[in-house]
């Protein structure tokens, strides 16, 4: 797939048939679009990376408010249309799958936006979290159920390892719901508009970040089981009991009940045990499980 397209490959927008397989539900409600763009609080010096600009519903409203938009679109027909409509200095259109797009040429800080193709919401989220250092924030439309997972509280069914990762690295806000009628074709599922603001420092201080992230991931593999049992392959029962007590976590706690801060304290207690020479053979498995 080439990153740029020639003018000769042009197609007429009237002939455009949306592809369901690419999550092509285009925003058509101008008031809703204006509300979403306002919520992003752009300034003239901003560089924006847009995921899936489509026919430019957000792009053309954002464009006069910022310095530059880099728009990554996987559908050649749409990428080409956008290239034809705008001088390339202000709007740079990249014909590429966002999940394969190489961020190394970009100059931070950037704002990330997108009316996401919902079929790849999770990989996009993980990519953003991995690359968070080049972004100040991420504003996006997403399936309401997915959005609720990102802001869920401990002890609720929506609370998951993804909730913990997102809250560890960012401050998530569910800004508002979007009616299905705001899109064409209208999706069957409900949508919302979200903001993730990248934290200057993660929510909790941990001694070993990869260990902490893998501990969270492993814990949620059996979210309703007593956590001390889920972690039984890591250390002896006595060591785990000591770590739980020092982290002020009840011995009968389940993964779905722990806050990010509690996971952080527990990870720190366990890494202290490991660095004190009590490392169990099975923590290698823990890292591989992730």
Report the 10 Å Cβ neighbour count for 181: 10
Least distance between ligand SAM and beta carbon 67 (Å): 20
Candidate list 58, 82, 182, 243; residue touching ligand SAM; CB under 6 A: 58
Nearer Cβ to ligand SAM (72/150): 72
Coil, strand, or helix at residue 194?
A: strand
> Length of the chain in residues, anyone?
290
Provide the mask over 11-50, with x wherever binding to ligand SAM is found by CB under 6 A and - wherever it is not. Answer: -----------xxxxxx-----------------------
Candidate list 5, 40, 42, 52; residue touching ligand SAM; CB under 6 A: 52
Coil, strand, or helix at residue 55?
A: coil
Which part of the chain contacts ligand SAM (CB under 6 A), choosing from 91-99, 152-160, 239-247, 266-274?
91-99
* Residues between 98 and 137 that touch ligand SAM (CB under 6 A): 98-99, 115, 117, 120
Nearer Cβ to ligand SAM (165/193): 193
Least distance between ligand SAM and beta carbon 17 (Å): 12
d(CA 186, CA 197): 29
Candidate list 40, 49, 74, 263; residue touching ligand SAM; CB under 6 A: 74
Give 266's contacts (C-beta < 8 A, 6+ positions apart).
215, 243, 244, 247, 249, 258
Give 30's contacts (C-beta < 8 A, 6+ positions apart).
none
Residue 78 within binding range of ligand SAM, rule CB under 6 A: yes
Q: What are the structure tokens assigned to 138, written together? A: 């991420």
Q: Is the Cβ–Cβ distance between 66 and 48 less than 8 Å? A: yes
Which part of the chain contacts ligand SAM (CB under 6 A), choosing from 55-63, 145-153, 161-169, 265-273?
55-63
| Residue 54 exposure: Cα atoms within 13 Å on the Cβ side | 22
d(CA 83, CA 222): 48
In the complex, which residue's CB is closest to ligand SAM?
52
Nearer Cβ to ligand SAM (34/99): 99
> Residue by residue, what is the 3-state secondary structure of 202-228?
CCCCCCCHHHHHHHHHHHHHHCCCEHH
* Residues between 127 and 186 that touch ligand SAM (CB under 6 A): none
Candidate list 32, 40, 46, 54; residue touching ligand SAM; CB under 6 A: 54
Give the pairing type, strands 170-178 and 135-143. Answer: unpaired
Which part of the chain contacts ligand SAM (CB under 6 A), choosing from 93-101, 195-203, 253-261, 275-283?
93-101
Binding site for ligand SAM (CB under 6 A): 22-27, 51-55, 57-58, 72-75, 78, 97-99, 115, 117, 120
């Amino acid at each position: 797939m080439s990153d740029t397209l020639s003018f000769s490959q042009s197609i007429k927008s009237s002939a455009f048939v949306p592809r369901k397989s690419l999550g092509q539900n285009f925003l058509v409600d101008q008031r809703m679009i204006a509300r979403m763009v306002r919520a992003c609080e752009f300034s003239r010096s901003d560089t924006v990376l847009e995921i899936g600009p489509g026919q430019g519903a957000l792009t053309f409203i954002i464009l006069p408010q910022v310095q530059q938009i880099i728009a990554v679109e996987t559908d050649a027909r749409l990428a080409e249309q956008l290239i034809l409509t705008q001088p390339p200095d202000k709007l740079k259109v990249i014909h590429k799958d966002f999940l394969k797009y190489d961020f190394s040429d970009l100059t931070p800080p950037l704002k990330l936006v997108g009316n996401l193709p919902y079929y790849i919401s999770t990989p996009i989220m993980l990519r953003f979290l991995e690359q968070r250092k080049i972004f100040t924030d991420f504003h996006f439309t997403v399936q309401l159920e997915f959005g609720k997972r990102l802001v869920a509280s401990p002890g609720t069914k929506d609370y998951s390892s993804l909730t913990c990762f997102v809250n560890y690295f960012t401050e998530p806000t569910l800004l508002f719901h979007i009616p299905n009628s705001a899109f064409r074709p209208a999706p069957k599922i409900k949508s919302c508009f979200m903001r993730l603001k990248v934290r200057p420092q993660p929510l909790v201080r941990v001694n070993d970040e990869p260990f902490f992230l893998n501990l969270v991931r492993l814990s949620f593999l059996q979210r309703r089981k007593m956590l001390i049992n889920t972690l039984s392959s890591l250390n002896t029962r006595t060591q785990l009991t000591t770590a739980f007590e020092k982290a002020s976590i009840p011995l009968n706690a389940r993964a779905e009940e722990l806050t990010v801060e509690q996971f952080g304290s527990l990870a720190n207690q366990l890494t202290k045990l490991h660095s004190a020479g009590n490392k169990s053979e099975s923590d290698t498995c823990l890292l591989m499980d992730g």
